[in-house]
């Protein structure tokens, strides 16, 4: 084998591994959570000037969130293998080994939390708490026992926003808590919509969900109420942060859109309506983060 073919082979392996590892980080979900962390930090009005801190925040959060996602995938590989939606993921399809994934998740998590702790011990502690709630409390302890586990998934999801603001302020304040609460309230919308759409898959995998425990109608109503609560929490957080009036106006309008969809979904629940609400709520969350950032610049 010549040097050229060896290098080509190594590069090909690297490229395949990178693609597989990237899939395991759930880049969209990680990106959205990362955006909440960045928005939380910028909401403390210390954005552009401290770009080194901003980059370190983004890097450490990305590593920690990706790490916890990979570890979750390791623990959930048997569930994933039973569901058509997830059975082609790298672990259940056998493209990545368990030990390899565990090492990847461990390295990403430890590096992320270590980097976060170096930036600020409080920030590191909150990032660690997020990872702990997500991996240990949500995935390992409660996910297979009760549909209410999603509350803990939500708390974990709210941690990046709280951590970002705590890093900016040097302390935890009520605005940061409400800000994290808005993300927490949004997460059930996301998880429950998936559990409605893939109800049979979850049942086959033995994961208790709201639709299987309380029925579709109740789940639809909870999704709608959760969206309404998200909009209210976000409005309070934006008020507490003190975003400029123009951006506040836009946030109010987007919140009204979310409320209208949520109410319609409660009055006439259907899967189509729920999925529409879920997509709008995701867009709402991303837009709200952007508005918080723009509104304090």
Binding site for other proteins (CB under 8 A): 246-247, 249-250, 253-254, 256-257, 260, 264, 276, 279-280, 283
Alpha carbons within 13 A on the beta-carbon side of 193: 24
The number of angstroms, rounded, from the C-alpha of 142 to the middle of its chain's C-alpha atoms is 18
Q: Which is nearer to other proteins, 172 or 250 (CB)?
A: 250
Nearest distance from C-beta of residue 76 to other proteins, angstroms? 28
H helix intervals, the chain: 3-24, 27-42, 51-75, 77-82, 98-119, 121-132, 149-169, 174-197, 199-205, 210-214, 216-241, 245-267, 271-296
Q: Which is nearer to other proteins, 10 or 260 (CB)?
A: 260
Among all chains, which residue has been given the structure tokens 């209210």? 232
Nearest distance from C-beta of residue 194 to other proteins, angstroms? 16
The number of angstroms, rounded, from the C-alpha of 83 to the middle of its chain's C-alpha atoms is 21
Q: Which is nearer to other proteins, 87 or 276 (CB)?
A: 276
Interatomic CA distance for residues 288 and 294, integer angstroms: 10
Q: Which is nearer to other proteins, 75 or 247 (CB)?
A: 247
Interatomic CA distance for residues 230 and 185, integer angstroms: 5
Nearest distance from C-beta of residue 12 to other proteins, angstroms? 31
Nearest distance from C-beta of residue 165 to other proteins, angstroms? 23
Angle at 154 between CA 96 and CA 212, to 5 degrees: 80
Nearest distance from C-beta of residue 272 to other proteins, angstroms? 8
Interatomic CA distance for residues 172 and 180, integer angstroms: 11
Long-range contacts of 272-277 (CB under 8 A, 24+ apart): 273/220, 274/193, 274/196, 274/220, 274/223, 275/193, 275/197, 277/189, 277/193, 277/223, 277/224, 277/227
Q: Which is nearer to other proteins, 17 or 264 (CB)?
A: 264
Q: Which is nearer to other proteins, 98 or 260 (CB)?
A: 260
Q: Which is nearer to other proteins, 75 or 278 (CB)?
A: 278
């Amino acid at each position: 084998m010549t040097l050229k073919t060896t290098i080509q082979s190594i590069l090909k392996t690297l490229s395949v591994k990178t693609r597989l590892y990237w899939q395991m980080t759930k880049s969209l979900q990680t990106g959205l959570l990362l955006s909440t962390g960045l928005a939380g930090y910028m909401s403390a009005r210390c954005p552009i000037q401290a770009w080194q801190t901003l980059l370190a925040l983004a890097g450490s959060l990305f590593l920690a969130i990706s790490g916890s996602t990979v570890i979750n995938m390791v623990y959930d590989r048997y569930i994933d293998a039973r569901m058509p939606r997830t059975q082609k993921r790298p672990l259940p399809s056998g493209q990545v080994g368990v030990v390899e994934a565990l090492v990847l998740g461990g390295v990403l998590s430890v590096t992320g939390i270590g980097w976060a702790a170096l930036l600020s011990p409080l920030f590191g502690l909150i990032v660690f708490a997020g990872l702990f709630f997500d991996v240990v409390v949500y995935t390992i302890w409660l996910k297979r026992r009760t549909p209410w586990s999603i509350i803990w998934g939500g708390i974990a999801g709210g941690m990046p926003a709280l951590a970002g603001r705590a890093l900016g302020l040097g302390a935890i304040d009520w605005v940061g808590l409400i800000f994290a609460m808005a993300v927490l309230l949004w997460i059930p919308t996301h998880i429950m919509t998936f559990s409605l759409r893939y109800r049979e898959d979850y049942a086959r995998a033995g994961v208790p969900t709201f639709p299987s425990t309380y029925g579709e109608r109740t789940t639809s109503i909870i999704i709608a109420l959760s969206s309404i609560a998200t909009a209210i929490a976000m409005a309070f957080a934006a008020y507490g942060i003190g975003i400029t009036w123009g951006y506040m106006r836009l946030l109010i309008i987007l919140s009204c859109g979310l409320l209208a969809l949520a109410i319609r979904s409660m009055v006439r629940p259907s899967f189509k309506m729920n999925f529409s609400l879920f997509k709008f709520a995701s867009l709402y969350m991303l837009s709200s983060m952007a508005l918080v950032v723009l509104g304090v610049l």
